[in-house]
Amino acid sequence: MELSAREIATYLNGEVEGNPDVTVSGFARIEQATQDTLCFLANPKYEEYLYKTGAGIAIVNKTFKLRQPVPYTVVWVDDAYRGIATLLDIYATLSAVQRSGREYPSRVSWRAKVGKKCYIGAFSYISRGAKIGNNVKIFPRVYIGRNVTVGDSCILYPGVTIYSGCHVGSGCILHAGAVVGSDGFGFAPDENKRYKKIPQIGNVVLEDDVEVGANTCIDRATMGSTIIRRGVKLDNLVHIAHNVEVGQNTVMAALTGIAGSSKIGEGCMFGGQSGVIGHLSIGNNVSLTARAGVSSNIKDGETHMGFPNMPISAYRRSYVVFKNLPDLQKKVSQLEQEIGSLKSKP
């Protein structure tokens, strides 16, 4: 796919300095760019590369001032980082749109409904009662269970599995190996201390514009629904347990785990390997640092870290103490020896 500087400026509401008809066919980091690629500068740390890069086009913030002329075309924008994100999204969307039609072997139940302009990859299976919206891209080896609904313009990458009765909104992206609707982890011990499985008869609801990372698993509810609200972004290898609710526009980095029936607010940011135990309430706009272990409710707007979790300011004060514990232990031992010698004197 080729883009001209004029087209890029139109997409990003930017201004062209240089040749507006120059075209690029790919993207590259500013220090590695070549004549047929596009780069960007958002971090002043990389300014030196602006004068060394071999790019055909560079996207640069309007607030930035060049210290010397450059031989390539510059597109001046309000926010270069958001600008490159927009272009990458356009590029990825157009690449996906190129796929259409149905590949064989694949199986679509005659009782399923598939919308217009869809792509169905080889070895995919769409069960009876499933409803697939328009312009949906279903890559090879995707399984869609009975009575599943998938909204318009979704992308289901290879190996995605959606269990029966689940709902996927419009504009969602499910990456390779993602599982939506697997059984929640529910077992009850009997009189012989053997665990009897508790049937999980609920479902999972993904609202619009949700993105689910590769090999992420979202469990169906025991009863009712596990709900992922609009605009949530889940990284790879995230686990959402049964009956959890995640508020809109919350993001979770890789290896995050949310235990059953916890409620996560809107606009939260969870660092990698963070975890929340079951039946907790996490407020809106809460941030968790990487590897935070949450064992208590958190109010709106707080940032927590550590295990067990505590507000970040309290954790930092505590850290000053416990990082010095080895030295303190030595001092205590010395004091004990001195006290012992004093007691032994007549």
Q: Which residues are catalytic?
A: 242
| Amino acid at site 166 | C
Question: What does the alpha-carbon distance between residue 298 and residue 274 come to, in Å, rounded to a whole number?
Answer: 14
Both tokens assigned to 21: 């008809």
**Residue 20: count of CB within 10 angstroms of its CB:** 14
Question: What does the alpha-carbon distance between residue 278 and residue 259 come to, in Å, rounded to a whole number?
Answer: 4
Q: What's the per-residue H, E or C state across the chain?
A: CCEEHHHHHHHHCCEEECCCCCEECEECCCCCCCCCEEEEECCHHHHHHHHCCCCCEEEEECCCCCCCCCCCEEEEECCHHHHHHHHHHHHHHHHHHCCCEECCCCEECCCCEECCCCEECCCCEECCCCEECCCCEECCCCEECCCCEECCCCEECCCCEECCCCEECCCCEECCCCEEEECCCCEEECCCCCEEECCCCCEEEECCCCEECCCCEEECCCCCEEEECCCCEECCCCEECCCCEECCCCEECCCCEECCCCEECCCCEECCCCEECCCCEECCCCEECCCCEECCCECCCCEEECCCCEEHHHHHHHHHHHCCHHHHHHHHHHHHHHHHHHHHCC
Listed residue (136, 224, 222, 148) closest to 179, CA to CA? 148
**Residue 22: count of CB within 10 angstroms of its CB:** 17
Cis peptide bond prior to 105, omega within 30° of 0: yes
Both tokens assigned to 39: 């780069």
